[in-house]
């Protein structure tokens, strides 16, 4: 199984801060990788997808980078609506797996 390790698991930040979340995979991911945002009581929401060239489906302050076994999600200027939990996911191989999540809270 491909294990995904997210770091940090929790971060406290202020509106306007730049934050970066890392997702490390136990095996190389060649094609299918995605980032999601989840707010309490809601379903996950797709942020971006791709394993080398990322396609964004949300505002441009969100950006993704990485390939192989290390991926990052960066929010360039944190907005109030961005306080949530973020998950990475690999869809390359079965079983599909998620990272443990990164909770972004207001400082």
Partner 1 sequence: DVQLMQSGGDLVQPGGSLRLSCAVSGFTLNDHHMDWVRQAPGKGLEWVGRSRHRVTSYSTEYAASVKGRFTISRDESENSLYLQMNSLKIEDTAVYFCARYIDSGFNDKWGQGTLVTVSS
Q: Give residues in contact with partner 1 (CB under 8 A).
A: 31-34, 36, 38, 43-46, 49-51, 55, 57, 87, 89, 91, 94-101
H/E element, 25? strand 19-29
Residue 81, by phi and psi: left (phi above 0), alpha (psi -120 to 50) or beta?
A: alpha
Nearest-approach distance from CB 102 to partner 1, in angstroms: 10
User: Looking at residue 32, what DSSP letter applies?
Assistant: -
Min CB(57)–partner 1 separation in Å? 8
CB of 14 to partner 1, least distance (A): 25
CB of 96 to partner 1, least distance (A): 4
Nearest residue (CB) to partner 1, 96 versus 106:
96
Q: Which residue matches tokens 């443990």?
A: 100
Lookup: tokens for 85: 């939990």
Could you tell me if 107 and 85 are in contact, meaning their C-beta atoms sit under 8 angstroms apart?
no
Side-chain-facing half-sphere of 101: CA atoms under 13 Å: 11
**18/68 with CB nearer partner 1:** 68
Q: Closer to partner 1 at the Cβ: 14 or 43?
A: 43
């Amino acid at each position: 199984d491909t294990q995904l390790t997210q770091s940090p698991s929790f971060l406290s930040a202020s509106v306007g801060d730049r934050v970066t979340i890392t997702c490390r995979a136990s095996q190389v991911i060649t094609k299918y990788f995605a980032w999601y945002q989840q707010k309490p009581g809601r379903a996950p929401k797709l942020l971006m997808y791709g394993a080398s060239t990322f396609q964004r489906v949300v505002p441009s302050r969100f950006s993704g980078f990485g390939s192989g076994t290390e991926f990052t999600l960066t929010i360039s200027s944190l907005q109030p609506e961005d306080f949530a939990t973020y998950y990475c996911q690999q869809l390359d191989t079965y079983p599909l797996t998620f990272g443990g999540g990164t909770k972004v809270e207001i400082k």
